[in-house]
Structure 1
Amino acid sequence: MTLAVRHSTAAAAAADARATELVNTMAALPLGHPDRPRLRGQAIEAWMPMAKRLTRRYANRGESFDDLLQTAAIGLIKAVDGFDATRGVDFVGYAIPTILGEIKRYFRDKAWTLRIPRRLQELRLAIAAAQADLSHDLQQAPTVADVAGRLGVSEEEVLEAMEAGHAYRAVSLSAPLGDGEDSAISDTLAAEEAGYARAELNVALPPALASLDNRERRIVVQYFYGNQTQACIAEQLGISQMHVSRLLSRALKNLRGQLSEAG
């Protein structure tokens, strides 16, 4: 790793430490404390780079980047105001789902049809072919892990492409079920709101993350939400990349177990 990269990594780590200190200090103060508004403003400003990084994931999908960034900032403000350090989850682990949830709600409420990135379109086609091949080879329906292994991508990328497929074509809820049918698609919809499952996951995820030790939790958050490579994380923690990989695998196994029990 070059000296410039090392310097950049150290600077980023120092900035994150300072931002964490600000939000923890603010959260520890009572609501009426005179220093709280000042610390709140500084904490929001310190964490805005993270909000920008998360916003870039949703760029080029037909919505203005500035509008998306403003939405992410709203999510960040909600995270800063709602953070409780006594729950055992660090701020990043709490803030990232809050910000991403706000962005996804923006698309749900404001965007009629998402423009699917080409890489997801191509991956979606590859997934369909891999599923067909694996079904023949395994003589059973392949899992997400099976498909990810066959294509050499992460399970998260497979799930993202599969989810993107649902936005491929919009159909009116008033459309008839079939030729000559009097019933519309809306008549078949269950009364249960689809957001309930997402809300339950948002409740279950923080305790699941809290079950990990500090190092495992940091690795999970930086890898999946901070878009950092295993090599970069290893450099920050002072351990080997292989060790990071082992810790990440163990943490994901524990998280799956926690979420399975919660469900």
Structure 2
Amino acid sequence: MNTHPERPEGRPDRLAEAGLRLYRRTGDRRALERLFTLNGGILGSIAQRHSRASGESYEDLLQVGYVGLMKAVRGFDELKGTRFSTYAHAMIEGEIRHYLRDAALLQPVRRPRWARSLYAKVARATAELMAELGRPPLTEEIARKVNVTPEGIEELMKVYLDTSVRSLDATGPEKGAPPPDLSAIRSLHHETFALPIEDRIWLEEAMETLSELQRKVLHHLYYEDLSQSETGERLGLSQRKVSRIAAASIKLLAGRA
């Protein structure tokens, strides 16, 4: 009889591995979510360390790390005797390092921050779709998930990684391929944005400095793609008042650019 107390670090691994077996057997999303929760500390720690060292956004690295975690879920083999947490750590670390290496190699391209943020959202969506579908998702499936046209997803990959996301194993474009067309990165449900997507992403971060009414006005105009008249009807304001609030808000935001 073993009288030694159980090592506390072993229990999360056993819970994770039990959840992994359940997810693989039944496809139960709750088991997968539990698996993510149990390994959230590892993911956050790796993302935070690399964020401090590289200056990249913690949230972006966190979302990229989810891709590594999902790959760990797909590739873990408990018969090899490795703990799931050890394997997941290596996969998350590798995915983030890959992201950062490509960022450094493509630095001369001067990829804008909005492209990096959007790519991280695409990476997270890809991981979630892999879990749901049991296979690498198609471009069209990713596009629906993040509300960007398929053409926009392809162009984003050219901007960020010079590769296609038709599948996770797809190869990059041939040498001499035309440069990416940033204007192709558009909303899926509204073909034309009142503002370019880079400005919309920047607005989302900057709008926290505005009043509640100012945020509502800009949200209706630039996120829901409503006209000034429609925005006024929603908020009980005249079109002229909406126009003034929008102009003043944009002026305030411009001072932060």
TM-score between the two structures when normalised by the length of structure 2: 0.35
Structure with larger RCO (C-alpha < 8 A, sep 6+): 1
TM-score (normalised: structure 1)? 0.34
